[in-house]
Amino acid sequence: MGNVYLTGAGPGDIELLTLKAARVIKEADVVIYDRLANPDILEMAKNGCEFVYVGKEDGKHIVPQDDINEIIYQNALKHENVVRLKGGDPFVFGRGGEEASYLFDRDIKFEIIPGITSAISGPAYAGIPVTHRGVSASFRVVTGHESPDKKVSQIPWDNFKTDDTIIFLMGLHNLDKISKKLMEIGKAHDYPVAVISKGTTKDQLVVVGTLENIVEKAKNIPTPALIVVGKVVELREQLAWFGN
Ligand code: SAH
């Protein structure tokens, strides 16, 4: 029985892959990968390595999660080195925990290889530090998948009244509702928001606006995209370093 490496692929820029991830990919007998993992990474694999695509789009699985768990398990029965490659970090909205616990229940050994999450590196490539002395003392990474008008919410909206940075992943389709909700809890209509699409890649696009106008401004922006809300967005005026 083999070892499964639940591996972060980083956000897009292939050079943001960790050395450890690169090593296990080079040794892999099979790589099971998502849409958000940069496919160029697969070129590092040895000859004869198998590739299994279990694509995933904005939180919606093309292959259901239960099937993915089972695919990983079956491969671990057949192969010595199994890499499960996921965009960003496997434990940041990556369902890596569910996959690891499925393997734990079946006595399969696994390792977690953290990756650079898009939640922080997307803003960094857009010139937006997620914390900044005197501006934001903390940041939250929040699912934007849940509709903000849901009656019983998992999201503590009332805690978002401060100026700390909020990063929404999987939220582009709810951008209008998220902006409205934040104004409803008392944020100013001109409060800064950025939408970052395809962050850290050559196709990166950044749109900056306010809670009031960001929906209009980000209308045609492609996925994957994340939303950054907070005064730190204004620092981009000085810190944007990566081409738009
Ligand atoms: N585990 C991943 C996140 C998975 S959830 C990570 O740590 O980055 C998928 C969401 O991540 C997308 O809907 C999008 O909001 C965000 N995302 C992933 N890659 C991105 C990128 N290159 N640019 C902008 N957003 C990205």
Tens of pLDDT, residue by residue over 178-200, are 999 999 999 999 999 999 999 99
Domains and CATH numbers, the chain: 3-113 (3.40.1010.10), 118-239 (3.30.950.10)
Q: Tell me how far apart the alpha carbons of residues 144 and 178 are, in angstroms, rounded to a whole number.
A: 8
Q: Which of 24, 131, 41 is nearest to 88 (CA)?
A: 41
Decide whether any atom of ligand 1 lies within 6 Å of the 11 Cβ: yes
Spans of the chain below 50 pLDDT: none
pLDDT value for 171: 96
Q: How far is the CA of 206 from the centre of ligand 1 (A)?
A: 14
Q: Tell me how far apart the alpha carbons of residues 28 and 89 are, in angstroms, rounded to a whole number.
A: 19
pLDDT value for 244: 53
User: Which residues belong to the active site?
Assistant: 34, 56, 170
58 torsion bin: left (phi>0), alpha (psi -120 to 50), beta (else): left
pLDDT value for 56: 58
Query: Which of 7, 13, 35, 36 for a ligand 1 pocket mutation test, highest count of atoms within 8 Å of Cβ?
Result: 36
Q: Tell me how far apart the alpha carbons of residues 129 and 114 are, in angstroms, rounded to a whole number.
A: 20
